[in-house]
Amino acid sequence: MSLKYVIKEGTAGFKRAKLAVTTSIFSLFIAVLLLGILGRVSYNVYTQAMSLKEIQIEVFLFDMDERSVEEVRNQIEGEELVTNVVYISKDSASVIAAKELGAGVTELIELNFLPASFKVEVNTDSGSELVESLASRIQNIRGVDEVEYNRALLKALESNLSIFSLIGSGLGILILLAAVVLVYNTIRLTIYAKKDLIRAMKLVGATNGFIRSPFIVEGIIQGLIAGTLAVLSVFAIFEFLVPLYVPDVGIVAWPFGRWYFLVGAMVGLSVLMGWWGSRLASRKYIAETYISG
């Protein structure tokens, strides 16, 4: 099979069905653009939510000697989910309370009634059930009086993130399917326009794979063009339009801090959709519709 022939015939479809090809590229472009915007915004929403999800458990202690305090600390630090443990003595707790509550409660704080405690930082990837289980185990440690953390906030964040993820995934899948269907229909129209040529090629012994190749190349080229345009648009939207018209939003970070992750995903996904749609159409309408000649 000649690579030159495949590429030539693959690009020839752009001339034979200009409107269909333009519609297909535009649809792919819109689909990948929307996915790129959704991906970048979703990443920033997720990182902001995770920054709010700083899980800190306060462990209040009974009065005990330093050795007992150290034993409690060792048991807490031995937990897998725990990332950091900070001890706050009774004196330190009084000083902190004085700063937070102001001078009006100085006499009350001087009574030194506040208990010693540990501030326990927990891995932010931990779910509410794991944190609840951890808090229960800490509560059962000898010398621990009370365990407190913001259960309601943690559960609310998890619930909202789950809903956001489901909606985003659903939209993404719908956009992908719509784009693939449009590429599929474009290639089908191109095949129909070349039905006489395809019949002639079959009569002289051309295989289905040989006939399909140009159409698959056409779909890949459509995906490459659409993906490139979508990437340029995402750059323009977030680097120029958003700062210009919505300056309060600030900088919308690239996923994982690097532009090439999202760019590579967008172009790769666009090419994949173009390839998939053209492959489905060419296999169906060449192998089945024209096999009889």
DSSP type of residue 115 = P
pTM: 0.65
Residue 215: burial class (beta carbons within 10 Å; 0-12, 13-18, 19+): buried
Query: What are the angstrom distances between the C-alpha of 209 and each of 13, 85, 150, 206, 271?
Result: 17, 64, 61, 8, 20
Task: Give the CATH number of domain 55-123; options: 3.20.20.120, 3.90.1150.110, 3.30.70.3040, 3.30.9.10.
Answer: 3.30.70.3040
Residue 263's pLDDT is 92
| Mean pLDDT, residues 236-260 | 78
CA distance 115 to 136: 20
Tracing tokens 């619930």 back to the chain, one arrives at 159
- The residues spanned by each domain of the chain are 3-50+156-287, 55-123
Selection from 14-18, 21-25, 51-55, 244-248 with the highest mean pLDDT: 21-25
DSSP type of residue 255 = G
Q: What is the pLDDT of residues 186-237, one digit of tens each?
A: 777 777 766 777 777 777 777 777 777 887 888 888 889 999 999 999 989 8
CA distance 128 to 242: 35
Selection from 46-50, 68-72, 92-96, 167-171 with the highest mean pLDDT: 68-72
Contact 245, 236 (CB under 8 A): no
| Mean pLDDT, residues 267-288 | 79
Contact 124, 55 (CB under 8 A): yes
Residue 293's pLDDT is 45
Selection from 50-64, 124-138, 227-241 with the highest mean pLDDT: 227-241
Provide the angle, in degrees to the nearest 10, between the axes of the packed helices 128-139 and 151-193: 160
Q: What percent of the chain has pLDDT over 70?
A: 79
